[in-house]
A and B are shown apart, each in its own frame.
Chain A
Amino acid sequence: MRMNFQSKKMSGSASKDRMIAKFMQLTATGEKTASFCLSIHGWKLDEACDYYFSNPEKYARDHKQQIMVDRKKIQHLFDRYRDPSADVVSVSSSHDGLLRFFQDIQLDVYSINALIFSWRLGVVVQGQITREEFTNGLMALGCDSVDKLKSRVSQLDNDIRHPTKFKDFYQYTFTFAKDTGAKNLGIEDALRTWKIVLAGRFSHLEDWCTFIAQHDRRSITRDTWNLLLDFASTINSDLSNYDEEGAWPILIDEFVGWLRPRINTSTSSAMS
């Protein structure tokens, strides 16, 4: 009996450790935070993660600068890449600070990681990072040097692992991709961005892009953009649970109308 009791205890703590590790990976937090949040929420991983994301400050138990981040170093880093004429790191043709910066931290400009990075920094205008965005962003990422950034960049996909985080990121990319003054996003930019951010998350992505390219709409509204994620995540690939009279935007209704016959012919030809 004793042995059983002992082994139970051991497996209990081992699974807790695994859970802590998983939590840390999902939320990019430290061990103290992870164990605190999990213990409050009955060691249920998904629940704890949800609660964490909705209120990170509440659970933060690790010393804010567990990895010591030097604000001054960040400022110097900024100055290395900044434009001579404005207090930003940008893609201006004379100086190209932004491209050099991305190259140095090994961030591929056309990858999803570049978008995630921009999202973490809260970049408002494409093609430039302000001093404030740069500083606050790097502090939040816990990086004050090119080396630290290189390592952090390789883990960026963790930041969007949780659905709530991904949703926030996805909605951000609309604002980021469009012209700052415009309300809506042009078709070309929309397609380009979707292909990057929804790859692997939307079974009908290719069809959607084909449909949009030949449609006469010239821009995408924020509402349609946002709802596309709901569509990708909740609608079956045979469209069986789609309700045309429901709260979906008209463009998505039209997509379903366009797609349905194509699906039916391909399944029937597959059967014959």
Chain B
Amino acid sequence: NIWRDEMLDKIHEQLVSAILHDITCDRRGVSTHSAILRDVIHSFVEVQSHEEPQGSVIELYRELFEERLLANTREFYQREAQKLYENCTVSEYMNRVIERLDQEEDRLRKFIYHTSIAPCKKECVMKMIADYEHILLDEFKLMLRDDRIEDLSRLYILIRRLNQGCKRMADMFHEHIYEKGKGSIELMNSGCSPQEYVDSLLLVFTKFVTMVRENLSNDRTFADALDSSMTKIVNSTSDTKRYPRSSELLVRHADHILRKGAKYISLSEVEERLRKFIDLFKYVEDKDLFQKFYGKKLANRLIHNTSLSWDLEETAINGLKDRCGYEYTSPLQRMIIDMKLSDDLTKELDQYLKDNNSPLPVSFSVNILQSGAWPFAGGPTAPTEGGAAATPEFNIPSDLAICIDKFKEFYSLKHTGRRLKFVFPLSCGSVVINYTLRQYTVIMSVYQAVAFLPFQSAESLTKEELQKASGLEMGELEKCLSAFTESNLVVKEQGTPDSPVSYKLNTAYSNRKAKFKLQASVVKEANEKEVTTAYQSVDEDRRIYIQAVIVRSMKSRKQLKHNDLIQEVISMSKNRFAPSISMIKKCVEVLIEKQYIERLSSDKDTYQYLA
């Protein structure tokens, strides 16, 4: 090859030096003969491709040119980086480096053979970014502290070019978010209101989710760092034996949103708040505990008719379903269906009464609850949750008795073979008061109404008289009387030596509202008790759940190694809670003792299902 032997071999050194000199000039902003440069550089490749068109054509190119090009690039950008670092702030540095990188890319594409583009770029990245990584990441902390979001974007653009660069930056991101979240953890542990807790969480969450989306290109690594940090924040607990209060607080917050009578906020605002609520829900690990609380609050709203709208309830439930699946939310959805069916039922009842020309003495409506889905006990002898004793007896007032009988008649025609149990603790009645200056309608629980009705025939009654008339058990009667006196509807009169303590209607009673609900402090106690019961029962429920999973898995697989069984249980519980290995092992031991499974005698690490 004449060209190679006569020309290149003799002059390649000077030729390459000249080329590099021109490239350097170009880098410095001095214009060059770009067409010539390109052709000359490519000529190294062409020479070889003429010789051996089939083989590798870049050997010569590499040997004569590329190596020196890379060295040259390396040196240039090392000096450049040094210069910039000494003369610029970190912000400016990053800006200039980005500029440089873009320029170099263009330049490379213009002149050199394509196989050199990647190695050259790598040199730039190494010298301008990798060498300064620790400085840049130190500055990252300050950027986060001072909300310098443009700098963040620039940093991201640079760091992502480094191998595992995003990971290192995301780890710092995770740390920072957790630090910010510590305030929320403290709030949670100090007994704050749900609103305070959620607001503090959302403050952190919204800020950083926006940052990931807008400044970090929605990069997966950073999104994951945010998620894992939020998970840590939401589930942190000071005492490993107790559950974090986040589930309880989030549910109470949702309850406020979904309840009637809140401050006047628009529908779209409510929906927005619900969306955020679901966003936070996904970080809760104790989803079974969450479900318990949510179910109770939902049941309360539905029963006492304090729900803002059923559509909104369904929206919220669908949000939960999206994260946890149909099985998780099916009792909740069932509750709403029951309410809708009960609505229809009431209309049918009215029609039935009309058709049979048997109107009821008072207006009357019934909600039928399917016993499995609602968090109240369904059986006739089982006590209701919240620690209340079994339904106390009382003398059913005649009006109420007529309604109940008529309803039973109607219902048994519609559904034969179903057993109805009237849950009086949850039922309420409205009592109209006419003995005061204004007429009032007071909504009270059935027990309270039953305790109040005897006043229809006498203005003042003793406890014993009230008990006789109402048939209520004394403890329950006393609760009602304290609600009456607390609200001032009734006044307690001191006894004299001749006559005992008596209760008298307060004819001077007045209230701003014409229609109101009778409050009672006992309700608050009951609510608190419910919360404690929920925490206490979660452990037991989890044990039962894990045992069921183990039995199901062993039944279908017949034999499983210990580690495989553990993994199976963890994956099957993922949507509800994160079981500890020690809890799983305890359940395995229980099942061995109960002879559902056994160890193989030849291999203690393998379990076998016992039919």
Q: Are B604 and A250 closer than 8 Å at their CB atoms?
A: no
Q: Are A253 and B599 closer than 8 Å at their CB atoms?
A: no
Q: Are B604 and A227 closer than 8 Å at their CB atoms?
A: yes
Q: Mark B571-588, 1 if CB is under 8 A from A, else 0.
A: 000000000011001100
Complex: chain A residue closest to B583, CB-CB: A250
Q: Are B581 and A247 closer than 8 Å at their CB atoms?
A: no
Partner pick for A221 among B585, B589, B605, CB 8 A cutoff:
B589
| Min distance, Cβ A89 to any Cβ of chain B, angstroms | 32
| B98 lies within 8 A of chain A by Cβ | no
Q: Are A223 and B562 closer than 8 Å at their CB atoms?
A: no
| Size category of the binding interface on chain B | 10 to 19
Q: Are A247 and B593 closer than 8 Å at their CB atoms?
A: no
Q: Are B605 and A247 closer than 8 Å at their CB atoms?
A: yes
Partner pick for B593 among A223, A230, A245, CB 8 A cutoff:
A223
| A181 lies within 8 A of chain B by Cβ | no
Partner pick for A223 among B566, B581, B589, B605, CB 8 A cutoff:
B589
| Min distance, Cβ A115 to any Cβ of chain B, angstroms | 21
Chain A residues, CB < 8 A from B566: 245
Q: Are B581 and A245 closer than 8 Å at their CB atoms?
A: yes
Q: Are B586 and A221 closer than 8 Å at their CB atoms?
A: no
| B446 lies within 8 A of chain A by Cβ | no
In the assembled complex, the Cα of A247 lies from the Cα of B604 at a distance in Å of 7
| Min distance, Cβ A251 to any Cβ of chain B, angstroms | 9
In the assembled complex, the Cα of A224 lies from the Cα of B581 at a distance in Å of 18
Chain A residues, CB < 8 A from B554: none
| A246 lies within 8 A of chain B by Cβ | yes
| B316 lies within 8 A of chain A by Cβ | no
Q: Are B593 and A250 closer than 8 Å at their CB atoms?
A: no
Of the candidates A184, A224, A247, the one having the most CB atoms from chain B within 10 angstroms of its own CB is: A247
| Min distance, Cβ B83 to any Cβ of chain A, angstroms | 56
| B592 lies within 8 A of chain A by Cβ | yes
| Min distance, Cβ A254 to any Cβ of chain B, angstroms | 10
Partner pick for B585 among A184, A222, A230, A250, CB 8 A cutoff:
A250
Contact A250 B589, CB 8 Å, known A223-B599, A227-B604: yes
Q: Are B582 and A250 closer than 8 Å at their CB atoms?
A: yes
In the assembled complex, the Cα of A183 lies from the Cα of B599 at a distance in Å of 17
Complex: chain A residue closest to B594, CB-CB: A183
| Min distance, Cβ A246 to any Cβ of chain B, angstroms | 6
In the assembled complex, the Cα of A34 lies from the Cα of B592 at a distance in Å of 39
**Interface CB pairs A-B, < 8 A, 5:** A184-B593, A221-B589, A223-B589, A223-B592, A247-B562
> Given A223-B593, A250-B586, A253-B582, 10 more contacts at CB 8 Å?
A184-B593, A221-B592, A221-B593, A223-B589, A223-B592, A230-B604, A245-B566, A247-B562, A249-B585, A249-B589
Binding site for B on A (CB under 8 A): 183-184, 221-224, 227, 230, 245-247, 249-250, 253
Binding site for A on B (CB under 8 A): 562-563, 566, 581-582, 585-586, 589, 592-593, 599, 604-605, 607
> Which 6 A-B pairs give the minimum distances between C-beta atoms?
A247-B562, A247-B605, A223-B592, A245-B581, A221-B593, A230-B604
